[in-house]
Amino acid sequence: MPVISADLVRRGPMATASELQEQLLGGQTLLSESREHLIEVVDVLASYGEVLDAYSINLIYQAERQFLVPFPLFKYLDGDVNPAKIWRHLWHDRINFEYAEYCMKAMLWHGTGGMDAYLDSEAFAESCRAIIRRKTKRDPLLALLNPLFRNFLPELIRTAATTHALGQFWRVMSDLFVALAQAEADGRVDSIEKVVEFIKDGLVTAAAQPITYAVEIDGEKFWVLTPEAGLTFLGDVAVPYVEAVFLRGLPFLGTVSFNAQAQQISPDQGKFAYGALFADPLPTMGSGIPPSLLMQDMFRHLPERLHQLYRQKGRGEGDVRVKICMSFQKSMFCVTNAAIRGTFPHSLASSDPAETAANSAYAASWASRLSLARTDCL
């Protein structure tokens, strides 16, 4: 979602930080209640869940079966290398796994949370050394590269670890979003409030799920993310993902011109605000633009109910991918809303002054960031 002048694309009033803080502390949803919003969020997440299923399978395949492969030409084929699939791939009749890699690279580059801390540890460095010793014994190209570029293979292993962890994260989110659509169809979810609660409960349930990763080399198992590292789903992958993809993101060079010397791109990564919650919903459908790839993937799996709603509005089919992008942004606010609810330091019903003060400070920190986001879509 490219970022351009906000004045050109605002759709309504912007919420202030104090208003957002009040909503969060009051247990209110950021997205307003309406039947149309419910259809948009549930159906676009149902589509996204189908796409994430493919993304998850491919990322885990890459991390496990294409590990330290010098030229992974068929990494997007999930091991099913046949002429018909290669032809469809070349003509883009396929899921665009490039977007999945874009999100992985954003997480790798921004490097926040417990997993990044572990990847900087001596324990991880020792795992890398053991893997490289075994791998270079039978791979002459890697054996040549390793002494010339000492950080090259450890960085590839670090990338593989992030790839596998994101695949595990998306496995949970895919199942959660598909289950949400089923719950709405069954009548168990009939409001935005229940959508946020459903997602929050899913995140809380998976919070302590361990994140581990091992590879097999010549019949021997080597740990990359060890069980002893104690990495978990919520704190070490989900929260860094929200930080990297929802909030910070990456500026899309080639779509919008930036002058880095004039500080149009901050040298401080922590101040980046190019993520999904901040970006303008304008998929260009240009080659290589990550959100355009995602919107095309979601269009291929779009529920008919939502597709019919889109046909009745705006330009009908003419701007359907822009409409998907707008609905997706609303849904990401709901996911963020659920994540905030599930990570408050104390119960919102608490009357203890210290606990209410901690909750207020937590809500204020989120509100100050979200007040700069595209809250006009809410």
* 268-319 per-position pLDDT tens digit: 888 888 888 988 777 666 666 778 889 999 999 999 999 999 999 878 777 8
Q: Is 59 exposed, middle or buried (0-12, 13-18, 19+ CB in 10 A)?
A: buried
The whole-model pTM stands at 0.92
The pLDDT score that the predictor gives to residue 271 is: 87
Distances (CA, A) of 121 to 116, 134, 270: 9, 21, 22
Q: 34-45 pLDDT, tens per residue?
A: 999 999 999 999
In angstroms, the first-to-last Cα distance of the chain is 17
Q: Which amino acid is at 200?
A: K
User: 160: closest CA among 244, 74, 245, 61?
Assistant: 61
Pair of tokens at residue 56: 């998850």
Q: 139-151 pLDDT, tens per residue?
A: 999 999 999 999 9
> What's the chain's average pLDDT?
91
Q: 89-137 pLDDT, tens per residue?
A: 888 889 999 999 999 999 999 988 889 999 999 999 999 999 999 999 9
CA–CA dist 195, 188 (Å, integer):
10
